Structure 1
Amino acid sequence: MDIWPLSLVALVPLIVALRGQPVRRAAGLGWMAGFTMTMTGFYWLLDMLKVFSGFPTPLCILFMAILCAYQGGRIALAGWLYGRAEARGWPAPLVFALAFAASELVFPLLFPWYYGASVHNAPVLMQVADLGGPILVGLVLVCANLALAEILLAWRRREKADNRIVAIGIAVPLLAAGYGFLRVRTIGQVMAEAKKVRIGIVQGNMDLFVRKNAYHVYVGRTKELAKSKEVDLVVWSEGAVPSPRAVTEATYKEEIQRGLTKQLGIPTIVGSVLRTPPAERGGRMTYFNTALMADEDGKILGRYDKQYLLAFGEYLPFGDVFPVLYKWSPNSGRFTPGTSLDSLPWGEHKIGALICYEDILPSFVQKLVKHGDPDLLVNLTNDAWFGDSTEPWIHLALAKLRAVEHRRFLVRATNSGVSAIVDATGRVVVHGGTFKEETIIGDGRFMRAWTLYSAIGDIPWYLTTAAIVAMGIWSRPKRVAKAA
């Protein structure tokens, strides 16, 4: 994820391998590439499955292989779409680009990722995300890959390369970089004039299961920040208060203020687990993964319940249909998703809350920003279940694009890292480490800015998907030679 120049060449072998292949073989080559990508790049899934499922290692390896076989289906879909459209006479480079974009849009992943995040530490190449999200960033990189693939294919055929493809493959990344350079400068000026907020992030580094001291760590660190008067706002990680607090919908604000937030003495976004009694939710105890906004007096100003729950960690797929699955996997959670996209109010400001991997779902964040119009984005996360692997850094890399897409600052408070503040150009202002208790302090800005992606979201990519599907159905019209 950190060697961004590889993103300009990494797809070349796949592009070369797909050229001229029958549809089934193209899909198979795509699946093989996707399976290899996910089995190696998502190696940390094995430890997560071992920790949460309680199953023995061989069985977890099997489950990981099944999961990665499914995840690899995204590249298989791209190969299948490519094979059908190329067989009907459509230009191969155009077909690959459209198929790649369509697969990133429509294939549902349990652990979402986008090729465009490969340039997370090359800011000038990220800025087109405010036009078309991560898929557009990825297509810029695909163009470079297509140009190099065209040169290699021509060399193999001992023919001259199509100069149009090579020119486009060079021009598109250069144009994107030029746009990025200008946007970094203009957004930098806007950030300099925006209202500043001093933010303290408490990273508790609590163990996933033995978390007896979590309450004291987060409260103690927050009181220290309040006493120092260094910060205006404190942000806790996801589930910072892990023991479910039994509340009722009618009185939870007063109960949380009295039992927790009144003593903090500073505006704080608290990550907690709320539990409502069976009488209120159809006869079953209900659990919510929640972010609460408290003012300096501890009064609860707003609440956000996580909507996209993590498979195996917070729910079991098909668990509601087959309840016995929860008996077989006792470490899996059984949470209920939230439904509201409202921002957390804080005085004249509105804060868009995201929990866990919701910050890597561009379409969801686009809806949340369009609905709530926040001037700051905050993500509460706990990546401890993935261990001290590359996953926390990959999560941060994917999340950076949300700041660019909506030109807002993004604050990420994580239990075990990587906690960070990301500015509106996707650059990290400050970040902490992994698996250590610490307090990270940095400056954010309250910003609102219109972007094309905020306004229209993924509409262009739905049209792209319709186009590649049509190409896979109808053959390219043949040109009729004009009479002399």
Structure 2
Amino acid sequence: MSGAVSPATPVLAVGPTLFTGDLRPRLLAALSGTLYFLGFAGFDVWPLAFVAIVPLLLALEGQTPKKAAQLGLICGTAMNLGGFYWLLTMLKTFSGFPTALCLVFTLIVCAFQGGRLALTGWLYGRARARGWGMGPYRYLVFGGAFVAGELVYPVLFPWYFGASVHQVPMFTQVADLGGPVLIGLVLLAFNAAIAEWLIAKLERRGPHKRVLQGGFGITLASVLYGLLRIHQTDARVAEAPALHVGVVQGNLGLMQKREDPNEGLRRHKRLTAELKQKGVELVVWSESSVTFAVPEEITNNFMRDRVAGSLGIPSIFGGVLFRVDPDRERWYNVALAADAKGEVQSRYDKHYLLMFGEYLPLGDTFPILYKWSPNSGKFTSGTDVKPLVVETGGKKHNVTALICYEDILPGFTNDAVRVGDPELLVNITNDAWFGDSTEPWEHLALAKFRAIEHRRYLVRSTNSGVSAIIDPVGRTVAQTKTFEAATADATVHYLRSTTVYELIGDKLWYMWAFGAIVIAFRARKGKETT
């Protein structure tokens, strides 16, 4: 019978909204997205991260799951359009498509990535409508939905809300307990306390004291833990073996690297000679700094004779290798470690290839796509995460290498560290195709957390910046500017440390996210109907 409701079908219970009509909630969601990207790395108005989610929490109050998802999408899309505006430049560089088409793709990608917060809003709306998260517990439900968005939703360029405070070490040290997700949850707790105070004002009631105490108390506890861990880590560093390391930033244009690899090699050798005169014991070059296409079987001879043999110090550098298999050619984006004589000691193949830049989705199935996108590469992923081995001071040391945006993947880095047991982290990358934008600074900010999570130095060499050396508490001890040929050097220390995050990773957060998903589909007993 039309309009009948089965007794087994729950009627969703939705509380009152704070605002009449749709305009103000949408404006609040857009405001939240704007505050999010302004407070995020790149723009770096970091105090905004402590209030950025407040407007979204106000807008979501009492909304149906559908409207909550729409508001989340508005917030997420606004954040991506402002924070990742450089996607347009990247797509133009990689694909070779007309600007108008790249603009359409940029809008699509930003809306898709904004779906992360749409998922958060939808899960939160469904859980609230099914009777979960009443009173002060609504913020626990929102936290689970927020974690689900950060961990479960697929994105082209991963990011974490917690990266907003990358410049403030006292807020970031909890990363060795729970990674960037935990930092984001600390920020979220403060946002929840502010939101609860405002919601209580609008509803003309007293705020739930547990929310205020929890939000401000969690933030204070995080700061105290941070100050303690900074002190402890600095003490360990002072006792660890030292190494004078340098990074070379060649600043070759994208096409210049391919068209004139000899100039790139000359530039890197000249800058390395300057570092050697300063007493550097290990030099790191950027991703594909050696742009000759080298057959895999002659790797050692070529790299010794043409590249590393004349440096006179151990080196880590990026290269491009290939081999011809019966079915097709296979190309690899690699990091190589050579000793002071130029002999290649170890190799690491990049695992996470950049979509559109190093491969095209469905490109192997539809080869014509590579004709349509001539600037896209056709690389093969690596198969293991064994460490590079470098010899300095007469001793061999394990070094975990991360290529390009692998350094913003905490789970992948966790796996590599567990396998390699390294004493140093190295990242080689090339952000030139994003242009003079906020992307290189965002990339660096996201990478910093790998040093904190594993309490090791991170040495980062990029083609066009930002090259940097990060200490185990996330402080930048040396860095370059963008888009200039430059070097940076500093004394680092070989360290080994096992952290809580290294042991458990994001398991706890996945459990919380799973719980948020479950309650979004299961009504709370006794709360099914209005």
With normalisation by structure 1, the TM-score equals 0.96
Report Cα offsets for 1:62-105 as digits up to 9, x if no partner: 01111111111111111111111111122221111111011111
Does the alignment pair 1:16 with 2:58?
yes
| Partner SS state of residue 263, structure 1 | coil
**Cα distance in 2 between the residues matched to 1:242 and 1:313:** 15
Letter in 2 for 1:87: A
**Cα distance in 2 between the residues matched to 1:236 and 1:197:** 17
The unaligned stretches of length 5 or more in structure 1 are 480-484
Q: 1:275-286 residue pairs with structure 2 within 5 A?
A: 275-276=322-323, 278=324, 281-286=325-330
Does the alignment pair 1:238 with 2:273?
no
Report the counterpart of residue 253 of structure 1 in structure 2: 300
Report Cα offsets for 1:126-169 as digits up to 9, x if no partner: 00000010101100000011111111111111111111111111
Report the counterpart of residue 76 of structure 1 in structure 2: 118
* 1:229 shift after superposition: 5.4
Does the alignment pair 1:313 with 2:357?
yes
Report the counterpart of residue 341 of structure 1 in structure 2: 385
Q: 1:312-331 residue pairs with structure 2 within 5 A?
A: 312-331=356-375
| Partner SS state of residue 141, structure 1 | helix
Letter in 2 for 1:173: T
| Partner SS state of residue 155, structure 2 | coil
The unaligned stretches of length 5 or more in structure 2 are 1-40
* 1:265 shift after superposition: 1.2
Letter in 2 for 1:322: F
* 1:478 shift after superposition: 4.8
| Partner SS state of residue 72, structure 1 | helix
Does structure 2 conserve the Cα–Cα contact (< 8 Å) formed by 1:200 and 1:234? Answer: yes
Does the alignment pair 1:157 with 2:207?
no
| Partner SS state of residue 256, structure 2 | coil
| Partner SS state of residue 358, structure 1 | helix
**Cα distance in 2 between the residues matched to 1:369 and 1:469:** 30
Q: 1:135-284 residue pairs with structure 2 within 5 A?
A: 135-211=181-257, 212=260, 213-226=263-276, 228=277, 230-248=279-297, 251-276=298-323, 278=324, 281-284=325-328
| Partner SS state of residue 444, structure 1 | strand
- Selected match of 1:352 from 387, 400, 404: 400
Report the counterpart of residue 64 of structure 1 in structure 2: 106
Report the counterpart of residue 165 of structure 2 in structure 1: 119
Q: 1:413-428 residue pairs with structure 2 within 5 A?
A: 413-428=461-476
Higher mean C-alpha displacement, 82-91 vs 380-389: 82-91
- Selected match of 1:130 from 164, 176, 185: 176
| Partner SS state of residue 260, structure 1 | helix
* 1:219 shift after superposition: 1.8
| Partner SS state of residue 333, structure 2 | strand
**Cα distance in 2 between the residues matched to 1:170 and 1:321:** 53
- What's the % identity of the aligned pairs? 52
Letter in 2 for 1:178: L
Does structure 2 conserve the Cα–Cα contact (< 8 Å) formed by 1:247 and 1:255? Answer: no
**Cα distance in 2 between the residues matched to 1:373 and 1:108:** 29
* 1:404 shift after superposition: 0.5
**Cα distance in 2 between the residues matched to 1:447 and 1:3:** 33
Letter in 1 for 2:275: L
Does structure 1 conserve the Cα–Cα contact (< 8 Å) formed by 2:265 and 2:307? Answer: no
Letter in 2 for 1:268: S
Report the counterpart of residue 347 of structure 2 in structure 1: 303
**Cα distance in 2 between the residues matched to 1:256 and 1:471:** 57
Letter in 1 for 2:156: L
Report the counterpart of residue 367 of structure 1 in structure 2: 415
**Cα distance in 1 between the residues matched to 2:290 and 2:461:** 14
Letter in 2 for 1:338: G
Closer/same/farther in 2, CA of residues 229 and 429 from structure 1, 3 Å limit = closer
Report the counterpart of residue 332 of structure 2 in structure 1: 288
Equivalenced residues, count = 473
- Selected match of 2:446 from 388, 398, 418: 398
Report Cα offsets for 1:148-191 as digits up to 9, x if no partner: 11111111111111111111111111100110010011011011
**Cα distance in 1 between the residues matched to 2:220 and 2:443:** 27
Higher mean C-alpha displacement, 464-473 vs 396-405: 464-473
| Partner SS state of residue 383, structure 2 | coil
**Cα distance in 1 between the residues matched to 2:69 and 2:362:** 28
**Cα distance in 2 between the residues matched to 1:340 and 1:3:** 39
Letter in 1 for 2:129: A
Report the counterpart of residue 482 of structure 1 in structure 2: none
Higher mean C-alpha displacement, 217-226 vs 61-70: 217-226
Report the counterpart of residue 380 of structure 1 in structure 2: 428
Does structure 2 conserve the Cα–Cα contact (< 8 Å) formed by 1:307 and 1:337? Answer: yes
Higher mean C-alpha displacement, 53-62 vs 465-474: 465-474
